[in-house]
Amino acid sequence: MTSTTATYAADSLTAEEFGDRVLSATLGWVETMSIHLGDQLGWYDALASHHALTAGELAAATSASARYAHEWLEQQAAYGILTVVGPDDERGQRRYALPPGAAEVLTDRESQGYLAPMASMLAAAAAQMPALVDACRTGSGVSWAQFGDHAWQSQAALNRPWLREMPTVFARHPRLHEILSRPGARIADVGTGAGWSAIALAKAYPGLVVEGFDVDAPSIEAARAQADRSGVADRVTFHLEDAARLTEHGSFDGVVAFECIHDMPDPEGVLEAMGRAVTPDGFVVVMDEAVADEFAVDAGPADRLMYGFSLFICLPDGLSHEPSAATGTVMRPSTLRRYATAAGFADVAVIEDDFGFFRFYELLS
């Protein structure tokens, strides 16, 4: 992942330079929130399906206000997201187009470069800013449910293209692949969210039975509907249930947890339940954020982004429960290893270190 925003030591900047940095950050916020608007209103989708549109045509195609569409189109062109096509005619007749690169990032829901939902996640956090300020004062939290539909929908949409390709990671590891290939093998998907991981495994391994577990009701409802649409509902079941009760559902040939351990108030307890639920020759695999091994003041873009998610989403959600490990999104490998050994595992091995934003670990008995 690359970034056009450089970081500088605070003591190396003059007041004017730091002011420029704050202004640049403000412009970035405006751009991000304008992306959220365009995504929610269907404006990017409409532009992607036409060569070019005027404000009036865009408004008509999306049942929106022509005046707001006009302002947004000009803003998008001023920010270099849209291009102006043809002559620069009088007010209201100017035509705008969405270039192919921007169209992939903002509208192609199958692409691993699809990032429009990231703006929706930040919008969900912004809507809870008074509660976040209060949480920072008191040490309380803001729950996942409080962040609303934008949060879980954004997470599901961002992760979907990666989770669709996730079975390729298991295919590269013969032992894991062999277990998943066994007819009737049972897998538990902890923190399944909208179910894309469970569905991807079931589609990649036709004899596999997958049971997903999550405590978020809207996500489980969406997962069940998607399993039915995907034709795997006969082998994929979703439970609205805490993963700490995993062993009540019998034993599994493999237990996985994709991008969720850092959110859990009791990660040790969940990992311990995962270890007890797996068969002696089975596996436990965790996928979480691919942050650096240690904190650094010159952190790369991945760590800076994850600190943002941690400060505004994951840490407040974790602290909305008592007691809480208060892990946050920036879960270093050493932190997961500490949780895993406390849960009874012998060690943690990195089995895939560069899968987009993610890293895969196998927890060893």
Domains contained in the chain, CATH given? 13-108 (1.10.10.10), 127-364 (3.40.50.150)
pLDDT of residue 86: 76
pLDDT of residue 124: 97
CA distances from 178 to 47, 170, 174, 343 (A): 46, 9, 6, 26
Tens digits of per-residue pLDDT, 292-320?
999 999 899 999 999 999 999 999 999 99
Strand order of the β-sheet with 209-214 is: 236-240, 209-214, 186-190, 252-258, 278-289, 358-364, 347-355
Phi/psi at 237 (5° precision)? -125, 140
| pTM as predicted | 0.93
CA distances from 316 to 152, 309, 312, 338 (A): 15, 10, 7, 22
* Rounded distance between C-alpha atoms, residue 273 and residue 248, angstroms: 10
pLDDT along the chain (365 residues), means of 10: 53 91 96 98 98 96 97 97 82 88 98 97 97 98 97 97 97 98 98 98 98 97 98 98 94 98 97 98 98 95 97 98 97 98 98 96 97
pLDDT of residue 8: 56
Tens digits of per-residue pLDDT, 181-196?
999 999 999 999 999 9
pLDDT of residue 92: 60
- The partner residues of 349 in beta bridges, in order of sequence, read 362
58: part of which helix (H) or strand (E)?
A: helix 55-62
* Rounded distance between C-alpha atoms, residue 140 and residue 83, angstroms: 45
pLDDT of residue 93: 83
Q: Which amino acid makes up residue 231?
A: G
* Rounded distance between C-alpha atoms, residue 345 and residue 285, angstroms: 12
Find the length of the chain: 365
